[in-house]
Amino acid sequence: MLAMLVRQEQLLQFDAFDSDIALEIGLRLVRAARAADEAITVDITRHDQRLFHHAMNGTPADHAHWIWRKSNLVKRSGHSSCYVHTQVTMGGGAIHAIPTLDARRFAALGGAFPLTLRGSGVVGAITVAGLPGGEDHALVVRVLRDYLRIDESL
C-alpha cells in the first residue's frame, strides 16, 4: 500500500503550476463531487498562497480546519496525508496520537495531496474534505490523473 501511495506521488507531478491550473483542478474536483452527489470543500495552495478554495453547499465550516490540518501534514512530511495515515496505522500507531505531531495542527487522514513541481519538490497541497479520508484521497488522485493524462492505474 505504501509503495502505491509513493508511486502516486511520483507520477502526479507538474512541470509548472499557476492560478489557472489551480482553478481548473479545483473546478474538476467540484464537478466530480457534484456528479457523485457529494458535498466537499476544496483548497489548493502553492507556497502558502491560497489559489483556490470552494465550499460546496451543505458543507460545514469546520472543513476549513480539517483542510488546514491535513495540508500542514503534507508540508511537514512531504507526503500525502493518506501516506502518513497508512504508515502510522501499519506500524500499529494511532493517527490521533502521532508522538511528534500536535493533533491540533496536523491530521493524518486522507485528502491532502502534495503539489509537487518536477525539479523543485513539494510546493503546496491540493486538499479535499468532506468524504471519508480514503475517498477524499481517491478523488484527488482520480482528478489529477485525468488532468495530467496519466494512464497508469493508480
- pLDDT in the model for residue 90: 86
Q: Are 114 and 80 in contact (CB under 8 A)?
A: yes
Q: Are 58 and 37 in contact (CB under 8 A)?
A: no
Task: Quote the percentage of the chain above a pLDDT of 90.
Answer: 81
Residue 128's SS3 state is: strand
Query: pLDDT tens for residues 86-132?
Result: 988 887 766 666 767 788 888 889 999 999 999 999 999 999 999 99
Distance CA 132, CA 108 (A): 12
Mean pLDDT of the chain: 93
Interval 63-87 mean pLDDT:
95
Strands 49-55 vs 121-129: parallel, antiparallel or unpaired: unpaired
**What's the CATH architecture for 2-55+62-148?**
2-Layer Sandwich (3.30)
Residue 32 carries which side chain, given as an amino acid letter? A
Q: Residue 45: is its pLDDT beyond 90?
A: yes
Q: How confident is the model at residue 151 (pLDDT cuts 50, 70, 90)?
A: confident
pTM as predicted = 0.93
Distance CA 43, CA 65 (A): 11
Angle at 60 between CA 31 and CA 112, to 5 degrees: 60
